[in-house]
Structure formats: C-alpha cells, structure tokens
Structure 1
Amino acid sequence: GFSTASMLEVAKAGCDVLDVAMEPLSWGMVHPDVITIQAMLKDAGFLVKDINMKAYMEARRLTQSFIDDFLGYWIDPRNSKMTSLLVGCGLPGGMMGSLMADLKGIHAAINSNLQKRGEKPLSEDELLVELFDEVKRIWPMLGTPCLVTPFSQYVKNAALMNLFSKSMGEKPFSRMDPAMWGMILGKSGKLPGELAPEIVELAKEKGFEFYTDDPQALYPDELPRFIKEMEELGWDRGQDDEELFEFAMHEKQYREYKSGLAKEQFNKDLLERMEKAQAGTAGAPVKHFTAADKRAILHPDAEAIEAPCGGKVLWDLDFNEKSTAPAHGKHYKEGEWLCAIQGSRGVENIEAFCNGRIVGIEKQQGQVVAKGDVIGWIEADKK
C-alpha cells in the first residue's frame, strides 16, 4: 500500500519514468492508476501532461473485453485486491500473483513430504507466512539484490525451494538453479550487499567461480545469427526490427509462436480453464458453453462445410456395418469425396475444398439439413 508515497519520493529524488496502471487492472496488488499518480505529481509541483480521458476509457473498455473474452481465466480474483502482506519481506506487490500461482503448484508436494515425515501439513495461509519469513531471512544472505525482475523472482524461488527442501529434510539452498547462481556469482553485475558466509562456502563446494568483469561480456552479439535465420526462413523482421527483437529476446517462445504450437497450447489451456470455471473450481465466472464453443476455441481457423442443398447427410456408405460420420482428425486431400446430401433430386456430392482434417461434426449420419446448414468443420493443413 506504499506505492503512491514511494512514487512521490522517487520523483522528488529525480527519477525519469514511473510505471503506472489503468483500470480495470489498476490497484491490483497495489499497482497505482495513472489518474492518481498524475494528479498527485501535479499537486506536488511537477510538470506532467494531461490525461486523454477518451483514450483512457477506450483502453479500459478494450482491456475489460479481453478479460471477459478469455484473459479472465488466467487472473486469480485475489490479484485484483490490495495487500500489505508483502511489506515485511520486501517483495514488490506485483509478485503476489506469481507467488500465489507457485504456491498452488508446490503446496500439495510440501504437505505430502511433511506427512511422510510424520509432521502436520500446512494450510495455504500458513505456507504463505512461512514463505514471507523465508524471503525476509534470505534476502540479505543473497547480497540484498534489487527486488525487481528477474532478481525478485530469484529470491522468491530460492525461498520457495528452501521450504520444499526443508519438507524433504534437506539443507537450505540445495535446489538453486543456474539463473539464481548466476546472480549470486556476479554474472548479472555486482550485488549491493555482502553474501552470507554459508552462500560463499556453498559456491566453493560446488566448484563455482565468482565473476567480477563486465557482465555484458558474457553475452556476445547474436543478432547476425538471428538476422541470417530470419532471412533464410523468409520471416519479416517487422517495423523497426520488432520481430527480430522478439526472436532474439525470446527465441524458444518465438519459434513456438511461428510454428503454431504456442496457439495450440494456449487454446488447450483455455479450454481446460473454461471447463474448470464451468465446474465452479477456477474462481472465474461460470460460463456454460457448447461443443461448438469448444471447437471454436481449439480450432479457430477451421472452415465450415455447408450443405449445398436440403436433404439427408451421408458421411459414409457402409453396407456391412453401421455408417457413421468420420472420426475427429481424419485427413482429406483437396478434391477428395467428403460426404453427400441425399435430396429430392438425387445425391449431391461434397468434396474437400482444401487439404485438411475434420475437427468438428455438426450433423450426424442420416440427419436432415436445409441448404446452407453447417454440417461439419475442416481445418486446413498449415503451410
């Protein structure tokens, strides 16, 4: 809850940029709204630009529409509230969201370990308090790094892993990953404080060496490699090389985005969250949806197969066994027989209009349809 006071103080100390938020996400875990900060700075004698309220309200409307459409399934309702629980440990308010998500993932594992050792399991609140206390304890031990991205994550993760190690009967700091050690060893720059003797000793035990040179030297210029690959693959570098920047900064994620894998994973995750919400277990508004809704989520690029005339749908003509619609995922080549409509003037065949696979059936074998009805969905192969 100190965000407005701290922002005023850093402004007085000469800062250039303040990171503010907008409705409907502002004030979540105490990220202040631009309206409040602008008014406060203006009152304190700073020269600040006026806010374009029409633009603000339009951005607010758009963000809310994204939340209502899909984004809300990833937002823990508690993240929209203000909390002072992080004051003691020093973690930034924005950390609370990822922290709660991490706790959900590890809570059951810690309790399982405690029960195996004959100890009492912890409630989520008890574990949360233990985590805050552990962050407060280890922060100075790790050289008091600035608690901003990514160093706040490193400290939080180290505390979380210490609690997990404790539940296993292991020593603290035994589960730190290479990124955390990189910060400790000076590969991200000189730490503001001194490392605790046990951390220095642990580094020696592991055979690690401390780094005191320019951290930038550890990151050679890789842009030529990324530029060459984008040219070979025919990928557009984007306006002001924005696509190149994204590729170089987030290589794995960018490759998944370009291949379509990221979209596929996103759609699957969204469907799972929608189903949990429908069951009332995800904290999101309960939303009832049909099989068609699911198909639209999982296969947004699918195209409709429409009936060219009225009549009975014939997906199959099997004279030995029961005729049925094709299985989900069945592949067709462009021009291949897909199905037929048996109308009053005979049978009208429908051919596949692309190379693709069936991702949804709207009308089953033998059902009567009218001209223009959607009888199924086909998703074209990715080129």
Structure 2
Amino acid sequence: MTAKRKIQFSLVYRDMFQSYGKFQPRKDQLERIAPVIIKMGCFARVETNGGAFEQVNLLYGENPNDAVRAFTKPFNEVGIKTHMLDRGLNALRMFPCPDDLRQLQYKVKHAQGVDITRIFCGLNDVRNIIPSIKWALEAGMTPQATLCITNSPIHTVEYYSDIADQLIEAGAPEICLKDMAGIGQPALLGKLTNVIKTKHPDIIIEYHSHSGPGLNMASILEVCKNGADIIDVAMEPLSWGKGHADIISVQSMLKNYGFDVPEINMQAYMEARALTQEFIDDFLGYFMNPQNHFMSSLLLGCGLPGGMMGSMMADLKGAMQAINNNREKNGEPAYTEDELLIKLFDEVGYVWPRVGYPPLVTPFSQYVKNIALMNLLTESMGKPRFSMMDENMWGMILGKSGKLPGEVAPEIIALAKEQNREFYTGNPRELYPNCLDKFRKEMEENGWELGLDDEELYEFAMHETQYRAYKDGSAKKQFLADLQAAKDKAMSKGVSPEEALALKHANADAVVAPEAGIVLWEINGDGENVQSIEPYIGKQYKEGDFFCYIENNHGQILEIPAALGGKLVEIAAKQGGHVAKGDVLAYIQR
C-alpha cells in the first residue's frame, strides 16, 4: 500500500490582520497567543513578521524588535518554523532599499529568531530576488523564493517555471506560489506545481492564497494533488472574506481526499479564536473595514488583491464627489457608488496591460489602482488618460523598480518622451547607494543605542520616518488620537443602552489589576482610605498619575497608575474588595 503524502500547514497570523485592517497585535498580545497556537498542534510554521508588521508597531509607540523576539521565541523552543514576508528590493517597506540595509536585515532577523524569509518581487524580476537569496543563506536563514501569481496572457506556466529555475539555481531551497489576489486559476497552479516538482523533486513548495474571489479552495486541492508540501491557512475570526482559507476546512478537505494531515486540537482552536477576537475588540477592530469580511467575485475581473478593497473604497468615495461634480457641470448624470466601482474595475483592466502587466501585489497593485482612479478623474475634467501620475507610478513604468513583464503601451512611451522622462534598463540596485554609515553616525550623535545585533540601526534605516516618531513619542500620541477618533465615531452611531455601555468602555482605558489582591483607594495621596470614590467620578488624571493601591497576596503594596490619563468615568471595584489578576478596577476616558 502506498503511504499517504504528508501536507503541512502554516498559520499566516501576520497576514490575517493585514488582510482585514491597518494594525497588528501588540507585543503582549502576541506573547499570549503564541502558546495557544502551539497547543493547536497542527502548524509546522507560523508567520511572525514581515512587510507592514514592524511599521505598525512603531506607529503605536512599540519597539518592533522586542515584539519580533518575543513572538518567535516560543515557536523556536518547540521547533515550529517562523517566517517573514520580504519584499525583495523594498525589503519591509514600500520603496527600494540599499544593498547594505537589505544584507543587514537577514543578520538581524536570524538573530531575532526568524527562520525563513519569503522573498518576493512584485515584478517577478529575479535581479531583485537573487541577491536576497545569497544574503539570507549567508546569515543562516532559509530563503524561500516567491512567484507572484496573476492571470494574464503573459503569466503562463512556462513564464513562471523559467523564473523558478533561475531562483532554484541561485540557491533557493523553497518556492512559494504567492496567489496574493486569489485570482490564480486552479488548473494553471496545478500544472505549475507539477512542472516545478518534476524538474526539482527536492524543492519545497508552499502555496499562499487569498479567498476573496472564491477560487482558492479548488487551487489548494490542485497544488496538493500535484506535489505542494505546505499550505498557508488562517483561522476564525479572521479567515475567509478577503483573507485566507480556514485551517478547519482545508484540513478536512485534504484529509478526506487522502492526504496525511495533522489533527487540530479544537479546544486550543477555540481558545485562540477567543483571544484573537479579544484583540480585535481591544482596539484592532476600530481599524478594520467590515467589507473585508466578505468575499467578492468582482475581484476576478480587476485582479486586485482583496485586502485593497477597504482602501480602494475609501479612495473611490473621496474622488466620487469631484467626478460627479464635473459630470453635472457637463450635463451628465452622476454615478452611483456601484456604477463608479464598475468603472474603476474596467479602468484597471484598461490600464494594467498598458503599463506592462505588473503582478498586482504591493506596491504595484496600489500604483495601478491609483492610475486608474486618476484616469476617471481626468476623464471627468475633459483631460486625457495618464495625465495625473506621480513619481512612484512613473518609477514603476520607467523600470526603476525592475523589468516589467510586458511592454509599455506606445501612448505612455510618447507621454514619457514628452515629459523628458527616460526608461531605465540597468539593475535597479544600482540606483540606491548604501546608507548604514549615515544612519549609524546620526544614532551616535543622538546617543541612541544601535541595539542588540544592530537591530535598532536596522529599524531606523528601514523605517526612518516611523522610527523618528517612535523615538520622540509623537507616534504614540498620534495613534491614541486616531484611536480616540475611531471610538468617537463608533459612539456616535445609534445603539441600544447595552451597546452604549459596551462602547463607553471601548471609548475609555481600563485600569487593570496587575496582580491578585485587595483594592485600597487613596485619593489625592492624602493617606486617607475612603469607602467610596463615587464623589471622585470626573477627576482628571495625567498619564502615569497615581490611582490606587493593591495589596497582593504576599503582603506587598503595589501602586497602580491611572493608565494613559483622562477623566475617571466608572468604578468597577470596591474598597477592600478582592480582585484577580487582569480584573478591571475603573475606566478612564481620554
């Protein structure tokens, strides 16, 4: 009897959040979820960081290096492989990086406990991937070279298999099929997997897909039938929609087909599910677009990643009034939102081949969408297409990020010539000189530590703007202001009394007991313990001000600060009452 072929699973915990909203969980939340993910017993790998992960840590005033080390440590200890998303020439950001910074990345991430780097180029230009393969190997990481999957006349099995051959020859022991928009056709993906595995039987193939347009369960089955080794999955409450297939459904489908797949500890699944929902309720949910919970077949027509739908709809609404104002001036009827959305999808279909069929993945998906949206606006103004393009859009078209898969349309070539723009045919790396000496010098002048394994130097050079805001405290202040605005918006909606109470709590910071013990109120530091603090409702506190005491179970007296400051709006614990660790003592509204 032939042994069943084994399929492993990777939980894309980072991408689960990125596909739904703006932020990632905090370090303390990641530390809480990691042991539960391990307890689920079904994951060989977990995605622990990568593009957009570390920027958002900085944006709410948290050190991303500490977060990465804390999140990877439990997985390292039990032998679960950790992996990150790496944008090749762009590394962890949206624009190109110099060589010395890219090379430092792999040393830093290996030291922090990241095992595998998933290296992709949005243009599938091997010149942007191969140097990273070399640097990752030198640093002790496993480089997983990536094929960005899309659906066009150019992106054939032969096109992709030729790129895979080059990446494997350069030393990549693994290939990822990155179906970032979920529009990869199951038949093509199955054939591509078979071609790569037949020619390179020892190469590990991992398949990553989004569920937005509804094809990916069929695609998962096809790639597994043809030799794929590892499947990326998600879990509730952030599975399906514009995200990824749920581990339960994928495991069931493959198990019943006859593959050897691990069992799921469902008690741990439910625990992880509840924790993730808790993180969403805490603050992450305020920055999630509800539409990202829904799948949409409309994505098949435009080929855009589902995770873009939220930002795309916001952009569309922003341009809609201007477009309709211009149409009304011309005596034309205004578009409805649905009509304009279809117009935008059609315009993406027009623009995409004319700018050389770049795979619609970050940042090129944003560029193509932006060109299409600007075209709709200029059309309403009576101006020609492509007359409102910024330097980033032109950079893609001119070859400064790599070679486009297809040819640029003659009309755009003529426009470039008219604007005295030159097409670049050299290696993109040559355009970005080394930078670390400059950043190292500034850190020394500022008295900033370079960090363990130069990780702070790396973070500053990689995310300069966000790092400066993190260091001076303005990032945290801006995040708190944005969060307050999001909470106020939620509060303004019509809700029931029960919902209003829940939103009241959501609109305030909880003062939480750090340990179990007895609550001792002491107002204004005057030494007098009072039986009721209701008269003090409305009292204003600054961040870190003394709030109350807790006498813990060992007889120690702990001073409890007033969270981030603000107005005391509710008391949740009684004088002399016993509280458990994590119990809410009061709510303070900023």
> TM-score, normalization: structure 2?
0.48
The aligned amino acid for 1:196 is A
Residue of structure 1 in register with 2:351 after alignment: 138
In the TM superposition, 1:69-88 aligns within 5 A as: 69-88=282-301
Residue of structure 2 in register with 1:164 after alignment: 377
Residue of structure 1 in register with 2:245 after alignment: 32
The aligned amino acid for 1:129 is I
The aligned amino acid for 2:249 is T
The aligned amino acid for 1:125 is D
In the TM superposition, 1:276-287 aligns within 5 A as: 276-280=489-493, 287=500
Residue of structure 2 in register with 1:102 after alignment: 315
Shift of 1:23: 1.6
The question of 1:147 aligning with 2:356 is answered no
**In structure 2, distance between residues paired with 1:135 and 1:25:** 28
In the TM superposition, 1:216-227 aligns within 5 A as: 216-227=429-440
In the TM superposition, 1:181-200 aligns within 5 A as: 181-200=394-413
Deviation sequence 1:248-306 (CA, Å, 0-9, x none): 22211221122221211111112122122112289xx9545899976749xxxxxx855
**In structure 1, distance between residues paired with 2:459 and 2:332:** 47
Equivalent pair of 1:31/1:93 in contact (CA under 8 Å): no
Deviation sequence 1:136-194 (CA, Å, 0-9, x none): 11110110001111111111111111112122222111111111111111111111111
CA spacing shift, 1:294–1:43, aligned 2, 3 Å = closer
**In structure 2, distance between residues paired with 1:16 and 1:201:** 47
Equivalent pair of 1:277/1:286 in contact (CA under 8 Å): no
Equivalent pair of 1:278/1:286 in contact (CA under 8 Å): no
The aligned amino acid for 1:78 is Q
Identity among equivalent positions (%) equals 57
The aligned amino acid for 1:155 is V
Shift of 1:59: 3.6
Shift of 1:7: 4.0
200-209 vs 53-62, greater mean Cα deviation: 53-62
31-40 vs 60-69, greater mean Cα deviation: 31-40
The aligned amino acid for 1:272 is A
Residue of structure 1 in register with 2:326 after alignment: 113
Equivalent pair of 2:487/2:506 in contact (CA under 8 Å): no
What SS is found at the alignment partner of 2:302? Answer: coil
**In structure 1, distance between residues paired with 2:483 and 2:304:** 29
**In structure 2, distance between residues paired with 1:307 and 1:61:** 42
Shift of 1:57: 3.9
Shift of 1:28: 2.0
The aligned amino acid for 1:5 is A
In the TM superposition, 1:237-256 aligns within 5 A as: 237-238=450-451, 241-256=454-469
Equivalent pair of 1:76/1:97 in contact (CA under 8 Å): yes
The question of 1:177 aligning with 2:382 is answered no
Residue of structure 2 in register with 1:62 after alignment: 275
The aligned amino acid for 1:253 is Q
**In structure 2, distance between residues paired with 1:307 and 1:361:** 20
Residue of structure 2 in register with 1:343 after alignment: none
- Of 92, 96, 100, the residue aligned with 2:305 is 92
CA spacing shift, 1:125–1:67, aligned 2, 3 Å = same
Residue of structure 1 in register with 2:442 after alignment: 229
Unaligned 5+ residue runs, structure 2?
A: 1-213, 511-522, 531-537, 546-563, 570-574, 577-584
Shift of 1:92: 2.0
CA spacing shift, 1:95–1:9, aligned 2, 3 Å = farther
54-63 vs 19-28, greater mean Cα deviation: 54-63
Deviation sequence 1:69-99 (CA, Å, 0-9, x none): 2121211212111111111111122222221
Equivalent pair of 1:295/1:359 in contact (CA under 8 Å): no
Equivalent pair of 2:539/2:568 in contact (CA under 8 Å): no
**In structure 2, distance between residues paired with 1:55 and 1:154:** 41
CA spacing shift, 1:109–1:241, aligned 2, 3 Å = farther
**In structure 2, distance between residues paired with 1:289 and 1:178:** 46
Deviation sequence 1:301-336 (CA, Å, 0-9, x none): xxx85554499xxxxxxxxxxxxx99999xxxx9xx
Equivalent pair of 1:29/1:93 in contact (CA under 8 Å): yes
Equivalent pair of 2:540/2:567 in contact (CA under 8 Å): no
In the TM superposition, 1:310-325 aligns within 5 A as: none
> TM-score, normalization: structure 1?
0.71
**In structure 2, distance between residues paired with 1:236 and 1:34:** 42
Residue of structure 2 in register with 1:205 after alignment: 418
Shift of 1:4: 2.3
- Of 478, 482, 486, the residue aligned with 1:265 is 478
Equivalent pair of 2:282/2:506 in contact (CA under 8 Å): no
**In structure 1, distance between residues paired with 2:418 and 2:314:** 33
Equivalent pair of 2:490/2:503 in contact (CA under 8 Å): no
The aligned amino acid for 1:114 is R
- How many residues align structurally? 326
Equivalent pair of 1:161/1:173 in contact (CA under 8 Å): yes
CA spacing shift, 1:279–1:360, aligned 2, 3 Å = closer
The aligned amino acid for 2:487 is M
**In structure 1, distance between residues paired with 2:453 and 2:226:** 33
**In structure 2, distance between residues paired with 1:224 and 1:272:** 40
Shift of 1:228: 3.4
60-69 vs 2-11, greater mean Cα deviation: 2-11
Shift of 1:17: 6.4
What SS is found at the alignment partner of 2:359? Answer: coil
